[in-house]
Amino acid sequence: MRNARRIVVKVGSSLVTNEGRGLDQVAIGEWCRQLSTLVREGREVIMVSSGAIAEGMKRLGWSSRPHEIHELQAAAAVGQMGLAQMYETRLREHGLGSAQVLLTHADLADRERYLNARSTLLTLLKLGVVPVINENDTVVNDEIKFGDNDTLGALVANLVEADALIILTDQKGLYTADPRKDPAAQFVHEAQAGDPKLEAMAGGAGSSLGKGGMITKILAAKRAAGSGASTAIAWGREPDALLRLARGEAIGTLLVAQTQKNQARKQWMADHLQLRGAVVIDAGAAHKLLEEGKSLLPIGMTAVEGEFSRGDVIAVRDEHGAEIARGLANYASSEARLLCRKPSGEFERLLGYTAEPEMLHRDNLVLSR
């Protein structure tokens, strides 16, 4: 965690709402203080926070979590107001702005919406704003729910290519068995993310407020490791837990990703078989890609092949037709044809808007040779 520059922090409902008694102002204030310190150190942080439904239940006077999806959605709508306001207030106390971002599984399953969400989050980080993310419980149904914010935290880590995922929970970390039932259970300080033995160790949900449990955290760590992010699971009320983890202190359970971040992402693109199309580029643009590690700008494109949408994986071909790279398209094929040989200053005139100055950003591009 010591070298992690971009960190996703996930906190659960029981912590955020003090076991359902209402938003814990002191705890949220402490996390926001630590986040502000990390930002001053040059880190980028994203908060994935549960608590909207639990806070909504309190405000509505409900003592138990409802089963009807529309009642859950109503509770989320009520609770989200207080949750967003609390983070905004506490972060402002430390000179930081915040942004509320609500996501559904469909947002990340659709490649175009995936890229849109990614671009928004990266822009917020560039502006020094802390995104506070929650599942959009007011519109989801059983088919598209993440099901728990541990999974959402991992998906966000994948989305922004985070270096680390920190899951703050009401437990110290992972044990070899449930310590509440087995006095011989041993604490797991460090393990490899994705190790099948970890899933056997993890128990079920421990709280009536949230849907998660240790098993969802283990699976989240496995998912985050797919893009090269290691995961720490730690007690949310441990003093300065975020700061100590970010500085390399061994608290909680560390689940280490075996694949480096860039290697994992580029391997995914290199192995992507469903190429939707291609762009042909001139010798100057090819040199920029191959020799200088630059992004591909539309001004270097001479032709567009096939039909593809924003977010599709496409090939990059040189003047001789040889594939030299592939990556995620920032513009659809119909738009790309209009942008060939055009500088970024003309994008808005041609399209009516500007998404990104690049056709393929170097972070979303892998060389084929």
Report the domain count for the chain: 2
Mark whether 213 and 280 lie in a shared domain: no
Q: How far is CA 9 from CA 30, 233, 272, 349, in A?
A: 13, 10, 30, 40
Give the model confidence (pLDDT) of 28-78 as tens digits.
Answer: 999 999 999 999 999 999 999 988 888 899 899 998 888 888 898 899 899
Mark whether 315 and 363 lie in a shared domain: yes
**pLDDT grade, residue 271 (50/70/90)?**
low
Domain boundary among 239, 261, 283: 261
Task: Report the chain's mean pLDDT, rounded to a whole number.
Answer: 88
Domain assignment of residue 37, yes or no:
yes
297-330: burial string, b at 16+ Cβ within 10 Å, e else: bbbbbeebbeebbbbbbbbbbbeeeeebbbbbbb
Mark whether 244 and 283 lie in a shared domain: no
Give the model confidence (pLDDT) of 128-157 as tens digits.
Answer: 999 999 988 777 765 556 656 898 999 999
For the CA atoms of 18, 21, 23, 29, what is the dihedral angle to 10 degrees? -40
Give the model confidence (pLDDT) of 199-215 as tens digits.
Answer: 877 754 444 334 447 88
Q: Picking from 72-76, 230-234, 242-246, which range would have the lowest pLDDT averaged per residue?
A: 72-76
Domain assignment of residue 116, yes or no:
yes
Q: What is the pLDDT of residue 66?
A: 86
Give the model confidence (pLDDT) of 161-195 as tens digits.
Answer: 899 999 999 889 998 887 778 888 899 999 999 88
Domain boundary among 212, 233, 261: 261
**pLDDT grade, residue 269 (50/70/90)?**
low
The CATH number assigned to the domain holding 15 equals: 3.40.1160.10
Domain boundary among 204, 237, 261: 261
Residue 22 tokens, joined: 């209402």
Domain assignment of residue 253, yes or no:
yes
Candidates 166, 39, 55, 156; CA nearest to 101 is 156
Mark whether 338 and 240 lie in a shared domain: no
- Which domain range does residue 88 map to? 6-261
Mark whether 298 and 354 lie in a shared domain: yes
Segment 290-298 shows an average pLDDT of 95
Domain assignment of residue 266, yes or no:
no
Asked if 366 and 303 count as a contact pair (C-beta separation under 8 A), the reply is: no
Q: What is the pLDDT of residue 93?
A: 97
Q: How far is CA 70 from CA 64, 73, 142, 211, 297, in A?
A: 15, 5, 11, 17, 46
Q: What is the pLDDT of residue 68?
A: 87
Q: What is the pLDDT of residue 35?
A: 97
Q: What is the pLDDT of residue 209?
A: 38
Residue scoring higher pLDDT (104 or 148)? 104
Question: Which of 14-23, 88-97, 108-117, 347-356 has the highest mean predicted lDDT (pLDDT)?
Answer: 88-97
Q: What is the pLDDT of residue 273?
A: 53
Segment 303-330 shows an average pLDDT of 94
- Give burial (CB, 10 Å; 0-12/13-18/19+) of 343: exposed
Instruction: Name residues whose C-beta falls within 8 Å of residue 198's C-beta, 6 or more positions apart in sequence.
Output: 174, 188, 191, 218, 221, 255
Confidence check: pLDDT of 103 > 80: yes
Phi, psi of 230 (to 5 degrees): -85, 155
